[in-house]
């Protein structure tokens, strides 16, 4: 019995989308820390866990390698990528510029209902900060910035930003967990929302850029670096903090 064109197309769709689904699942394991930085990824275990063959797992790992989340070592296997401090610092510098662009775009485009969503998220972030729930806070933090990114409405900006954020995720979690970082970060997000709600693109852009600069400084502290990160904000003393 021959299959119909419809069933053949459905089978192709299911096969072609499986590696993407596996990529999303493995990425989730990395971002939540279930697959820690530096750990070896066992293809056999993943195929059993997700009840699939190794083919989709391998395709997913190749995509994650291109995304900068894993590395493939010849004759050793695939490992969750470790990012050196210097590389993380460079990424933070790029994020400062991107966040300023996002803030300016969001201040001009955001609607009142979205501002209320952000304020509701702030309350959840404050609760997580009080409970010292780093994982919960980190997830809310990602969601907060995704709302801003969606509101900014730029496909290329979204692609570039998301890659940088994923690479920095584990560094940010460590920095948040030191020196009162959760409480301070929650206050910074409150300042961002008010700057955006003002409708002033300059204020919103600077508030987001300052937030990333402060996060970068916390990373320096968490890693015991005494050198102060150089930013556009510190190099222009005439600029006022909003």
Over its length of 242 residues, how does the chain's per-residue pLDDT go in tens digits? 455 555 554 444 455 589 999 999 999 898 877 898 889 999 999 999 999 999 999 999 999 999 889 999 999 999 999 888 898 999 999 999 999 999 999 999 999 999 999 999 999 999 999 998 887 887 898 899 999 999 999 999 999 999 898 888 766 655 555 555 688 889 999 999 999 999 999 999 999 999 999 988 888 887 778 776 655 444 333 333 33
pLDDT, position 234:
42
pLDDT, position 228:
64
DSSP symbols for the chain: -PPPHHHHHHHHHHHHHHHHHHHHHHHHHHHTTSS-TTPEE-HHHHHHHTT--HHHHHHHHHHHHHTTSEEEETTTEEEEPP--HHHHHHHHHHHHHHHHHHHHHHHHH--HHHHHHHHHHHHHHHHHHHTT-HHHHHHHHHHHHHHHHHHHT-HHHHHHHHHHHHHHHHHHHHHHTSTTHHHHHHHHHHHHHHHHHTT-HHHHHHHHHHHHHHHHHHHHHHTT--SPPP-TTTT-TTSPP-
pLDDT, position 172:
62
pLDDT, position 14:
52
**The two three-digit tokens of residue 51, written as one number:** 């009840």
**The two three-digit tokens of residue 167, written as one number:** 């690479």
pTM metric for this prediction: 0.75
pLDDT, position 16:
58
What CA–CA distance (Å, rounded) separates 26 from 114?
A: 30
């Amino acid at each position: 019995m021959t299959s119909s064109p419809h069933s053949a197309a459905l089978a192709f769709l299911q096969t072609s989308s499986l590696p993407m689904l596996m990529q999303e699942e493995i990425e989730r394991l990395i971002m939540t820390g279930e697959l820690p930085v530096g750990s070896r990824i066992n293809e056999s275990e993943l195929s059993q866990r997700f009840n699939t063959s190794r083919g989709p797992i391998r395709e997913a790992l190749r995509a994650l390698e291109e995304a900068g989340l894993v590395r493939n070592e010849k004759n050793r296997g695939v490992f969750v990528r470790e990012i050196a401090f210097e590389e993380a610092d460079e990424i933070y510098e790029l994020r400062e510029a991107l966040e300023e662009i996002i803030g300016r775009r969001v201040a001009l485009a955001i609607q009142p209902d979205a501002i209320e969503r952000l304020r509701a998220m702030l309350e959840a972030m404050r609760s997580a900060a009080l409970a010292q729930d780093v994982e919960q806070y980190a997830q809310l933090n990602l969601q907060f910035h995704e709302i801003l990114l969606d509101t900014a409405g730029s496909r290329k900006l979204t692609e570039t930003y998301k890659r940088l954020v994923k690479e920095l995720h584990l560094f940010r979690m460590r920095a948040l967990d030191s020196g009162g970082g959760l409480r301070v970060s929650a206050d910074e997000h409150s300042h961002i929302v008010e700057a955006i709600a003002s409708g002033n693109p300059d204020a919103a852009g600077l508030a987001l850029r300052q937030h990333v600069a402060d996060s970068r400084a916390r990373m320096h502290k968490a890693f015991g670096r005494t050198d102060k990160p150089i930013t556009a904000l510190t190099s222009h003393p005439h600029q006022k903090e909003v």
